[in-house]
Amino acid sequence: MHKGVARGTRFRPFIGSLFWALTPLYATVLALLVGAVMLLLLGVNPLQAYSAMVSGAFGSSNALADTLVKATPLLFVGLGICIAFRGGVLNIGGEGQLVAGAVAATAVALSLSHWPGWAIIPLCLTVGFLAGAIWGGIAGVLKAYLNVNEILSTIMLNMIAVQGMNFLLRGPLMDPMQVEAGSFIPQTARFSVTTDLPRLVPTRLHAGTALAVLLAVLVYIFLWRTTIGYRIRAVGLNPDASRAAGINVERYMMLSLILGGALAGLGGAVQVLGLHHRMFTDGSATGFTGGAGFNGIVAALFGKLHPLGTIPASILFGALIVGANQMQRAVQVPSSFITALNGLVVVFVVGSDILSRRRARRAVGQA
């Protein structure tokens, strides 16, 4: 019999030996070491490069604020991923859900620009939330009632969302000034300042970051303190037993996709209201999202699919993105190196996750 199992089921994601809980961190360090070898091959001093990276991410209040701003969409998407993955659905649609939420909020912000801030901001956020919910919900309905694989459908929906965004930004939502000037850059006009999310300190840091952290706590309460969260987790861990226990498995899988999409959609709305104050596209999804729809998945996995663990994980990835840009400027490495470094971290983190799971299974197998 196993002794010394810590108390508090609801805190289980935090227990187990501390050593193994920190595996993602070791994986990151390993990835950075491999990155150091690559830097050496590029003829760059890795110490110099990494110190530029650290100071770029944390070196000043502006750097820190930028890191948090970059972390914010990751956290929104990551929280949605926590819900979806815990419910046993692999939601890869973060990009599309971010875009859907952002486009919907943009449309509202532009058309109701005369409204006061206290009314327009909550409305835009709600609309973004709902648009994300619908975008996730489409995949949810397809999975629940037509048994369509959610990985495929969410990826497809990403593409549809991006093309929809391109169409709107090149057509109905395009900045009228651009049209007049004949420059046709695919972006909207700047929103009315009434829609700007409040700044927290005199940096780019906006209230959306605080909202994300608050939501992380709410998602934690939702998953571990409510009957709905209990059911989502039960369905994710064992759909057969859940069905036998009277839980409508399809409905809860659908719900976890809807909620996952909604949080990402809210993140999209926060991006346009808090940071860009307009919407723009370079034709792909990443032009607007910066890849947050995918990096958010990694952040959630990094945080062991725990909403509170996703907070530091998102900040770490935000720091990687901001710091890497600084490193690029400081030591003149090609931008593809930054992409490679990001990819290395992802591969190592996912790999370490598989390793520690296998270890856990072995430990159980011998009991």
Partner 1 sequence: MRGIVKRFPGVLANDRIDFDVRAGEIHALLGENGAGKTTLMNILYGLYRPDQGQILLNGRAVAIHSPADAIRLGIGMIHQHFMLVPTLSVAENVALGLPSSRGFLLDLDVVTRRIRELSNVYGLRVDPTAMVWQLAVGEQQRVEILKALYRGADLLILDEPTAVLTPQEVRELFATLRRMAGEGHSLIFISHKLHEVLSISDRVTVLRDGRVVKTLPTSEATREELARLMVGREVLLRVERSPVELGDVRLSLKDLWAHGDKGVPALRGVTLAVRAGEILGIAGVSGNGQRELAEVIAGLRTPSQGQVEIDGMDTTGWSPERLLKHGLAYIPEERMRDGVVRDFSVEENLILKDHVDRPFASGIFMNFGTIASYADRLIENFDIRTPSRDAPLKNLSGGNIQKIVLARELSREPRVLVAAQPTRGVDISATEYIHQRLIAQRAKGTATLLISEDLDEILNLSDRIAVMYEGQIVGVVDQREATVEQLGLMMAGAHKV
Point out which residues bind partner 1 (CB under 8 A): 1-10, 12, 225-228, 230-231, 233-234, 237-238, 240-248, 363-364, 366-367
Residue whose C-alpha is closest to residue 295's, from 274, 267, 272 = 267
State which residue, 205 or 301, has the beta carbon closest to partner 1: 301
- Cβ-based nearer residue to partner 1, 303 or 318: 303
Q: Which residue has the tokens 């490495």?
A: 333
Residue 193 or 367 having the CB closest to partner 1? 367
Q: What are the residues facing 206 on neighbouring strands?
A: 199
The least CB distance from residue 359 to partner 1, in Å, is 11
**Cα(239)–Cα(247) distance, integer angstroms:** 9
CB closer to partner 1, 231 vs 277: 231
CA–CA dist 155, 44 (Å, integer): 37
Torsion of CA 310, 316, 318, 321, to 10 degrees: -140
Helix runs in 271-334, H state only: 286-289, 292-302, 307-331
Would you say 204 or 243 has its CB closer to partner 1?
A: 243
Q: State which residue, 89 or 108, has the beta carbon closest to partner 1.
A: 89
CB contact at 8 A, 188 and 279: yes
- Asked if residues 235 and 244 have their Cβ atoms less than 8 Å apart, the reply is no
Q: How far is the CB of 106 from partner 1 (least distance, A)?
A: 33
The SS3 assignment for 304 reads: coil
**b/e per residue 30-61 (b: at least 16 CB within 10 A):** bbbeebbeebeeeebebeebbbbbeebbbeee
- Residue 67 in tokens: 């890191």
The DSSP symbol for 310 reads: H
Shortest spacing between CB 363 and partner 1, in angstroms: 7
Nearer Cβ to partner 1, position 238 or 286? 238
- Report in angstroms how near the CB of residue 145 gets to partner 1 at its nearest: 16
CB of 284 to partner 1, least distance (A): 38
- Cα 248 to chain centroid, rounded: 28
Amino acid (1-letter code) at residue 156: M
Among 199, 207, 178, 159, CA closest to 278: 178
Smallest separation, CB 4 to partner 1 (Å): 8
**With respect to partner 1, which residue has the nearer C-beta, 185 or 237?**
237
Give the shortest CB-234-to-partner 1 separation in angstroms.
Answer: 6
Residue pair 39/333 in contact (Cβ under 8 Å)? The answer is yes
Whether 64 and 58 have beta carbons less than 8 Å apart is answered as: yes
What does R_g of the chain's alpha carbons equal in angstroms?
Answer: 21
Query: Which phi and psi angles does 197 have, rounded to 5°?
Result: -70, 145
Smallest distance, partner 1 to C-beta of residue 7, A:
6
Q: How far is the CB of 238 from partner 1 (least distance, A)?
A: 4
Identify which of residues 233 and 306 has a Cβ nearer to partner 1 in the complex.
233
